[in-house]
Structure 1
């Protein structure tokens, strides 16, 4: 979907409108399948911290557009429009041919896509099982895949500016075993997210704001309510 000239999707908009933790299947974009996940984050004694790295998205349209374009190129190799319709085994069995036809970054991004789809199912499963430690492990695993395979942590057109990379590196240094972090949203610039133990939030906030400035770390709580009409 394109809004004001930006190639973007509806994931963030749906999440904000509906509230709580949800899974969304966009097989039919006009009628996405939305399933709530009944989980109370408060009982896990963690807070969600969003860190603004002060990056600028203004010149990143081509970087964002390249992600779905390259994934569709791989899908087209198998005669499909979207990667979701490609058999993962068929893809992995033909990586050598796909490399020649689509080039390496497209292959890596497709690998992220296939693995991430499986990982989302696992995340839902472990949350339903009340296994927050495994949830954090999978969040970290997902973030690492974004960094290595999806490659949306910094713009390839501007490798000298890597604020998100710095935020991730510093967060890992600060957090140690007190939480996990990953790139947030579409990436390339902007924000990261960190799930931080409540007792360690103030320490994390103070130290990460030494890097990105006062007010750059926003401590959030996941609430079950989405968009609401306020009656005066």
Structure 2
């Protein structure tokens, strides 16, 4: 732990600089911005918790989906990566058996009494439920928990498809683990606890990709073939030397209620699996699917069949993307990204809502990206689809043009320029 008044000095020390470089890279301007950000957070922490003199520093990245669009809910494979947009926190233990968490820019404070860890109905869909659920999950697994005073600030935009909620969950799990369990949990164990909290306490069904992406770090391939036991492999690739920037653009939300559109994807895929006598498509042999196709067209609708075709293609594509990165064949990786994007548009059909075809912000974003890139780089729908974000890998010489053009169409705050971060959720070792 360090004294909060020493934070600025510590971050400028050799160890502090090394800790920042490990997360944000070695660009001097970026490091200066981050030092100022941490310094400002220390002032906020001191104002909120004046009695707390000793602090510890934590950072959890957002994540971007790289491959495997809508494959996880069918026990498929995904490829994702952590990014250099993060939530940072200062934390100190307290003796009150209470977790108090204040987030910059949000009213009020989350206050969770650790003596009562059952779900609280009034907390559902609020961040306090996630804190309570994570604490309960850790205690139920035999891990220690205890009081904390926390102040956070985030650069992971809400609604960006970068999993701000999962980053928050993993941050809380990391702080409890570091302060009360000497970092005894693996990144995947933290992810499983966070997923459980979101499902059971927050009240939102979710897969495990988001939590793993924020927890592990770098590119990771996840195989969900065995329920509750994901196989997670780090994929070592230095994106900083790829000659490309990663840009996520928020094309805007739809005015329509897209709940049924999102629900229709797993429903359609599961219907095809059921017609093949299985629960999820991962259990279905692709050869068996094609052999059954004449019969399937009389059993399920064509959209469901197309979505199953997408699943089989994208599930195998993840393996090729993983191999291309491992072998430093970035051009081949980009070809697979483009192929995944085409499959999402034509087969998965999650680029716009068929119920509201006159609203197509994602399609406009992809078409405009194709025009700017002109056969270079790659772009695809990002995440759930139907509205929201797209992902583009943009050659460095086109970055300014891409940002200027996309911002003119979708708004000055629409584009997020980022790098792949090699370290997942972590405590900064600065002393």
Rounded to whole Å, the distance in 2 between the matches of 1:206 and 1:90 is 48
Measured against aligned partners, the alpha-carbon deviations of 1:70-92 in whole angstroms (never above 9, x if no partner) come to 11111111111111111111111
**1:21 alignment counterpart:** 219
Number of matched residues?
Answer: 232
Measured against aligned partners, the alpha-carbon deviations of 1:198-228 in whole angstroms (never above 9, x if no partner) come to 1211110001111101021110100111122
Structure 2 gaps, min length 5: 1-194
* Structure with greater strand share of residues: 2
Rounded to whole Å, the distance in 1 between the matches of 2:346 and 2:274 is 23
Is 2:400 the counterpart of 1:202? yes
- Change in Cα spacing, 1:179 to 1:57, as seen in structure 2 (3 Å) is farther
Alpha carbons 1:171, 1:181 under 8 Å: kept:
yes
Alpha carbons 1:123, 1:135 under 8 Å: kept:
yes
**2:320 alignment counterpart:** 122
Give the SS at the match of 1:102: coil
**1:189 alignment counterpart:** 387
Q: CA deviation at 1:95?
A: 1.0
Is 2:336 the counterpart of 1:101? no
Q: CA deviation at 1:60?
A: 1.5
TM-score (norm 2): 0.52
- Change in Cα spacing, 1:121 to 1:228, as seen in structure 2 (3 Å) is same
Rounded to whole Å, the distance in 2 between the matches of 1:57 and 1:81 is 33
Measured against aligned partners, the alpha-carbon deviations of 1:182-206 in whole angstroms (never above 9, x if no partner) come to 0001111110000011121111000
Alpha carbons 1:179, 1:197 under 8 Å: kept:
yes
Give the SS at the match of 1:154: coil
**1:226 alignment counterpart:** 424
Aligned equivalent of 1:32, options 220, 225, 230: 230
Rounded to whole Å, the distance in 1 between the matches of 2:287 and 2:413 is 46
Give the SS at the match of 1:196: strand
Deviates more, 1:172-181 or 1:41-50: 172-181
Rounded to whole Å, the distance in 1 between the matches of 2:214 and 2:372 is 29
Measured against aligned partners, the alpha-carbon deviations of 1:112-135 in whole angstroms (never above 9, x if no partner) come to 001111111111111112111111
**1:82 alignment counterpart:** 280
Measured against aligned partners, the alpha-carbon deviations of 1:55-106 in whole angstroms (never above 9, x if no partner) come to 1487222111111111111111111111111111111112121111011011
**2:366 alignment counterpart:** 168
Alpha carbons 1:7, 1:65 under 8 Å: kept:
no
Moved >3 Å (runs of 4+): 1-8, 229-232
Rounded to whole Å, the distance in 1 between the matches of 2:403 and 2:330 is 22
Rounded to whole Å, the distance in 2 between the matches of 1:5 and 1:188 is 22
- Change in Cα spacing, 1:207 to 1:179, as seen in structure 2 (3 Å) is same
Structure 1 gaps, min length 5: none
Rounded to whole Å, the distance in 1 between the matches of 2:257 and 2:427 is 35
Q: Which has the higher contact order (CA 8 A, sep 6+)?
A: 1
**2:208 alignment counterpart:** 10
